[in-house]
Amino acid sequence: MTGSLAKLYPLNNLFNQKKLTLSLDLVYFSISMKSVSLRFYEELNDFLPAKKRKTLLRISFTGRQTVKDMIESQGVPHTDVDLILVNGKSVNFNQIIHDGDKISVYPEFESLDISSVTHLKKPPLRNPKFILDVHLGRLARYLRAMGFDTLYRNDYTDNDLVNISLREKRIILTRDKGILMRNAVERGYWIRNIDVKEQALEITRRFDLYNLISPFKRCMECNGLIRSVSKESVMKHLQFKTKEYYDHFFRCTSCEKIYWKGSHYERMNHFLTKTLKKGSK
């Protein structure tokens, strides 16, 4: 019996040591745990689950974190943020956060110039150019019809989107929030709407494109510029009824697709007229 008890003593000692180690770990974790108050405003709430929207969040963290890390840990891409206040002071994304900080995060101010306050955004592009992810092929056609330089291919990888956007100073439009959280991304926007016409309106509002719309300047297929051509120069490529009913033609200088003012033109022109009318209100 004595020998059996002796065998148990080392096990008891080991168990007590593990309990002590676990207790010390919990104490250390409790001491090192910090927290901040975080509030997202307006459309940035679109990125959050319902229970986190339009309310003050208490977020715990350990170690050294930037305010960008904290914001994106909640699912909000840095590209959609226009102003960050930490304890009432405007900061950039590299600001290190501290225990007890009060953080307010704002989207772009559409009718208010905050360029003298914010430390985040690059100056807006004078002539916006876009590159779209694989989910937005129909939107690419609409933006091209509106006259905007818009790149789209259904085999672009995420790396392609980022590299081309940086090299050519293009705005990434995407349905994938993850790509906008890459550190390298400078300009991008997450499309909220599903319907393509609503997407086009969303982009027009978001980037205030109303005065920049130049209809039917670009090829909807390849993004090349189109120019007026004589009927005679394209006659051999036309169907019989097209020859009979139409006299004015246009051709893409890149892929040579031929356009005329048929029903497709009327539908798109109706949409653009409505879009411009909304912008004038």
Domain boundaries, the chain: 32-106, 130-279
What is residue 5's predicted lDDT score, i.e. its pLDDT?
Answer: 46
pLDDT in tens, the chain (281 residues): 445 444 444 545 544 555 555 555 554 445 568 999 999 999 999 999 999 999 999 999 999 999 999 999 999 999 999 899 999 999 999 999 999 999 999 997 654 555 656 656 666 667 899 999 999 999 999 999 999 999 999 999 999 999 999 999 999 999 999 999 999 999 999 999 999 999 999 999 999 898 899 889 999 999 999 999 988 888 888 888 888 888 889 999 999 999 988 877 888 888 888 777 665 55
Among 239, 261, 259, which Cα is nearest to 250's? 259
SS3 133: coil
32-106 has CATH 3.10.20.30 classification: yes
Residue type, 244: E
Contact between 70 and 61 under an 8 Å Cβ cutoff? The reply is: yes
Which pLDDT belongs to residue 14? 47
Reported in sequence order, the residue ranges of 147-217 that DSSP labels E, i.e. its strands, are 150-152, 171-174, 188-190
Q: Which residues does residue 38 pair with via DSSP β-bridges, in sequence order?
A: 57, 103
